[in-house]
Structures are given as structure tokens and as C-alpha cells.
Amino acid sequence: MTTPPAPKKDPMKSFRGIMAGTLILEAIVVALALPVVANLGGGVASGTGYLVLGLIVAFIVTCGLLKRPWAVWIIALLHVVMIASWVLMTALGVIGVLFTLVWAYLLWLRRDVAKRMAEGRLPSQQS
């Protein structure tokens, strides 16, 4: 009897975890904007309040879609919406710019890992 080969580690699986954690962190930070909306933005029942609540839900739902190849485009669209909301609430636009920079760095890292994986230079690929 031979033992089955050990399953190969998928480096992109860990990246999906990092991306999900970043989305949850982003949802928390956007949720912290709710008191600002309540005091300065016309209340939570205003258009700005609904925008913030919609973004929070969208970030959480996107966590479940990270296995899909088009999930990155949804994340990019959410950030475009956040930056465009600068007109309604400056704080939300600033959060959008900051997290866009974080996502740009994460996607650069993901591209680097994919390149190293294709070349066989990852530590998990070494025998």
C-alpha cells in the first residue's frame, strides 16, 4: 500500500484570506463613518446613510465571492463608488482613497506571487 501524495499548498488560497480580512476591515472602517453620517450627513435615513450601509453590506458579501475571477473588478467598482462619494461626504472619499492604495499594494503582491509560482520559486514548491 502506498500513501497518497500530500496535497499541494495553494498560495492563492492564503491571498483570498488576506483579501477577505481586508474587506472585513474595510467594512468596519466604513461602519465607523455611520456616527459621522448621523451627526453631519443628514442622518442614517438619508441618501448618504443608505450609501454607507450599502457599502458595508457589499464589502461583506464580496468576501464570499473572492474565489471568482471577477471579484477583483467588484472590489474596484466599490472603491470607485467610495471615491465618487467624496462629493456627499469627504470622510468616505478619503477612506476610499486610502483603501484603494491598500488594494493596489495587495494586487501587486498577488501578481508577484503568481509570477514566482509560475517560475517555481516559491518555498512551498521546493523539494
Q: What are phi and psi of 122, to 5 degrees?
A: -75, 145
Can you tell me the distance from the alpha carbon of 47 to that of 5, in angstroms, rounded to the nearest whole number? 56
- Grid cell of 8 as nine digits: 499541494
Place of cell 471615491: 83
- Grid cell of 32 as nine digits: 465607523
DSSP annotation of 41: S
80-112 burial, b at 16+ Cβ within 10 Å, e below that, comes to: eebbebeebbebbbebbeebbeebeebeeebee
Residue 113 pLDDT:
82
**Which pLDDT tens digits describe the chain residue by residue (127 residues)?**
566 555 566 767 788 899 999 999 999 999 998 887 777 666 667 778 888 899 999 999 999 999 898 999 999 999 999 999 988 888 889 999 999 999 999 999 989 888 887 877 776 666 6
* DSSP per-residue codes, 4-38: PPPPPP-HHHHHHHHHHHHHHHHHHHHHTTHHHHH
